[in-house]
Amino acid sequence: MIAFAALTGPLPKAGVVVVALFAARAMLARDPKATASAMIGALLLAPVLLLADIWHAPQLSIVHRHPLYALIGAAVALVGIVGLALVLLRRPSLLAILAVIALPFRIPISAGGTTSNLLVPLYVVVASGSLAFVIAAFREQEVPFGSGDGEGPSDDRAGWIERLLALLVVLYALQSIYSTDFEKALQQMVFFYVPFSLLFCQLRRMRWTPALLRHCLVTAVSLAVLFTGIGFSEYATKTLLLNPKLIAANNVHAYFTVNSVFFDPDIFGRFLALAMITLVAVLLYDHRLREQLLASGILAILWAGLVLTLSRSSLGALLVGMGVLSALRWKAWPTLALAVVVVVLGAAAIAISPKTFGLNQGLNGASSGRAGLVTGGLDLFGERPLWGWGPGGFVNEYRAQNPGTSTTLSASHTIAITIAAEQGLIGEVPYVALVIVSAVALLRGARPDPYRAAVAAAFLALIFHTMLYADFLEDPITWTLLGVGSALAMRARSEAHVKERRALGVAVVSA
C-alpha cells in the first residue's frame, strides 16, 4: 500500500525507469535466474504503474464501488494465467502458436481519459509464458524456452539486436521524465514496451524447428484468410465492426474501406501484406505443385482483401517484401534494376496524370495530411535536435504549433520523424542502428533458408510500412520478427560453428 501510494504521487517517473530496467535486464541477462528475476519485477511493477495512473479515472468507478467483484475478477484472471503457464511448462512450443494467434486481436479499453486498442489476449500469453519461465528457472530445471543444444555457442547470449532494443527501452523511459505528455509515455511503456520485451525474450530462446515454423505459418495465413472473409462481408453489407471515424468517412465517400477485426485499415493491410510475403516465400522455395497451387489460391484471396483496405502503405510494403525475397532467391542486381524501372514508370504516370493520384490537391491533400505531419515533425526536431520533446509529446507539441489541427491528424505517420521529434538524436541514432543491425543480421546467410528469407523480407517490409504509418516498437509483430529472426540467425551460426569443428576434427584425425 505504501508503494502504491508513493506511485500515485511524484514517483511514477522513477517507476517507469525501473520497469524499463527490468525489461532491459530480462533481454540482456544470460543466466535464467537473472532473467526470471527481471521478468518478475516487470510483471509486478507494470500493472501497479498503470493502476496508479488510472486509479481516479471514470473507467475504474466500478472497482471503487464494487471492490469485491474486482478482486474476484483479478483472481479468476490470475488462475487462468497460472493454468496456462503450467500447460506451457509441458508444451513450450505452444507459446509460439498462441502468440501468433493473439497478435492481431485488439480490445478497445479506456484508460487515462483516452481509448486504446489493447492486445489483451497477447498480454495473457506473455504473462503465462513469463511465469512458466520463472517457475522452471527457480526449480533449476531446463527453462521451457531455452535454446542451447549443447553444441556451438549458446543461443542465450545477448547480441547487438538485444542490446539496442534494451537501450531503446531504457532511453524511452529516461526521456519520458521531461516529456510534455508523460501519461502517454507511461502507457506506451506498460502497454507495449514492457510486455513486448518479455515476448521477445521468450521467442528469442525458443527452439524453432521446421515443424514449429510451419505451424506458425499456417496459423498466421489461416487468420489472414479469416480476416479477409470478414472484410468481404463488410464490403458486401457496407457495414464495419469497429472505428466510428472510418464508418463516418465511408458514409461521405464514394469508396468503401474495410478494416475487418482491426481498428485501422492500415493495420489490417499491414497484417495481410506480411502474411502474403510468407506465402510468396513458399512459392519461391517450395517446388511441389500442390503447395504452389494452394499458395497461389490463398494469395489471390488475400490480394483482394488487401485491395479493399485501400492501404497504399501496405501495398508498398508488399512490393518491398517481394523485392527482398526475389533478391534472396535469385540475384540482387536484376531485382534492383526492375525496382528502378517500376519507380521510373510510377513517376512518369504521376507526372502525366497528377490528378489521378490526387496531386491536384497538393502533396498534403494527396497524402491525407501526412506531408504536413512530416514537415511539422521536422520543425519540432529542429527546435530540439538533441533531446527532443520527450516520448509521447509529439501530439501536444504538434497541436500547439499548428492550431486548429483536426483530430484525425493528431499522430505522426512516419516513425523516424516521430522519434526525431520526441527523442532527438539521443533516440534517433539507436533507432537507426537497430534497423541497420537487424537488417544485416536477418539477411546474412538467409539466401538458402526459406524461413529466414521470409522473416527478413517481412521485417524490411514492416520497416517500409512504418515510414508511412508509424508503430514500430509499438507493434508486437516487430518484436516477434526480431525474436524469431535472431533465434534462427544464431542457430545458423551455431550449426556453421559445429560443422567447422567437425571438419577440423576430421582433418586432425586424417593427419
Q: Contact at 8 Å (CB) between 447 and 484?
A: no
At 153, is the pLDDT very low, low, confident or very high (cuts 50, 70, 90)? very low
Work out the average pLDDT over 371-389: 89
3-class state of residue 116 by DSSP:
strand
Work out the average pLDDT over 44-56: 85
Pick 478 or 4 by higher pLDDT: 478
Residue 120 has pLDDT above 70, yes or no: yes
What is the rounded CA–CA span in Å between residue 332 and residue 133? 41
Of 151-160, 212-221, 466-475, the one with minimum mean pLDDT is 151-160
**Ranges of each domain in the chain:** 2-146+156-204, 221-486
DSSP 378-442: HHHHHHSTTT-S-TT-HHHHHHHHSTT--GGGSS-S-HHHHHHHHHHHHHHHHHHHHHHHHHHHH
**Cell numbers 488487401: residue:** 306
pLDDT at 151: 38
Chain segment 243-299, per-residue pLDDT in tens:
767 776 666 566 789 989 888 899 999 999 999 999 999 999 988 899 999 999 999
> How many distinct helices (H) and strands (E) make up the chain?
22, 2
H-type alpha helices, 108-209: 120-138, 160-175, 182-188, 194-204
pLDDT at 491: 86
At 27, is the pLDDT very low, low, confident or very high (cuts 50, 70, 90)? very high
Work out the average pLDDT over 480-498: 86
Chain segment 474-485, per-residue pLDDT in tens:
999 999 999 999
What is the rounded CA–CA span in Å between residue 342 and residue 366? 20
- 173 conformational bin, left if phi > 0, alpha if psi -120 to 50, beta if neither: alpha
3-class state of residue 154 by DSSP:
coil
Percentage of the chain modeled with pLDDT above 90: 57
pLDDT at 117: 74
Pick 372 or 125 by higher pLDDT: 125
Tell me the CA distances in angstroms from 237 to 234, 254, 256, 306, 511, one per residue in order: 5, 15, 11, 18, 76
Pick 352 or 319 by higher pLDDT: 319
pLDDT at 121: 94
Q: Give 355's Cβ-side CA count (13 Å radius).
A: 0
Of 253-267, 316-330, 350-364, the one with minimum mean pLDDT is 350-364
What is the rounded CA–CA span in Å between residue 457 and residue 337? 18
pLDDT at 139: 86
Tell me the CA distances in angstroms from 53 to 5, 86, 170, one per residue in order: 11, 32, 20
Of 6-10, 221-225, 479-483, the one with minimum mean pLDDT is 6-10
Nearest to 232 by CA among 143, 310, 305, 322: 305
What nine digits make up the cell of 11? 514517483
pLDDT at 263: 82
What is the rounded CA–CA span in Å between residue 77 and residue 84? 11
Pairing of strands 107-111, 114-118: antiparallel
What is the rounded CA–CA span in Å between residue 71 and residue 78? 10
Q: Residue 210 is inside which H or E element, if any?
A: helix 210-237
Tell me the CA distances in angstroms from 448 to 208, 328, 333, one per residue in order: 17, 8, 18
What is the rounded CA–CA span in Å between residue 375 and residue 95? 42
Predicted TM-score (pTM) above 0.75: yes
At 114, is the pLDDT very low, low, confident or very high (cuts 50, 70, 90)? low
CB atoms < 10 A from the CB of 142, how many?
12
What nine digits make up the cell of 45? 511493477
What nine digits make up the cell of 307? 485491395
Work out the average pLDDT over 310-335: 90
CB atoms < 10 A from the CB of 63, how many?
17
Pick 400 or 189 by higher pLDDT: 189
Chain segment 58-79, per-residue pLDDT in tens:
667 777 787 888 889 889 999 9
As a whole number, the mean pLDDT across the chain is 85
Residue 140 has pLDDT above 90, yes or no: no
Q: Contact at 8 Å (CB) between 360 and 399?
A: no
Q: Contact at 8 Å (CB) between 467 and 416?
A: yes
Pick 127 or 496 by higher pLDDT: 127
3-class state of residue 31 by DSSP:
coil
Of 156-160, 334-338, 363-367, the one with minimum mean pLDDT is 363-367
Pick 355 or 372 by higher pLDDT: 372
pLDDT at 113: 52
Work out the average pLDDT over 459-488: 94
Of 68-72, 195-199, 358-362, the one with minimum mean pLDDT is 358-362
At 409, is the pLDDT very low, low, confident or very high (cuts 50, 70, 90)? low
Residue 455 has pLDDT above 50, yes or no: yes
Tell me the CA distances in angstroms from 10 to 7, 42, 162, 380, one per residue in order: 7, 20, 31, 28
Q: Residue 108 is inside which H or E element, if any?
A: strand 107-111
Residues 6 or more apart whose CB falls under 8 angstroms from that of 166 comprise: 23, 24, 25, 27, 28, 158, 197
pLDDT at 507: 57
What is the rounded CA–CA span in Å between residue 127 and residue 485? 22
Work out the average pLDDT over 166-181: 95
Chain segment 387-401, per-residue pLDDT in tens:
999 999 898 888 888
CB atoms < 10 A from the CB of 244, how many?
8
Residue 437 has pLDDT above 60, yes or no: yes
At 505, is the pLDDT very low, low, confident or very high (cuts 50, 70, 90)? low
At 359, is the pLDDT very low, low, confident or very high (cuts 50, 70, 90)? low
End-to-end CA distance of the chain: 72
Q: Contact at 8 Å (CB) between 165 and 478?
A: no
Angle, in degrees to the nearest 10, between helices 194-204 and 160-175? 170
Q: Which amino acid is at 322?
A: M
pLDDT at 6: 47
What is the rounded CA–CA span in Å between residue 266 and residue 413? 11
Q: Contact at 8 Å (CB) between 191 and 42?
A: no
Pick 328 or 113 by higher pLDDT: 328
Residue 361 has pLDDT above 90, yes or no: no
Burial grade of 319 (CB within 10 A; 0-12, 13-18, 19 or more):
middle
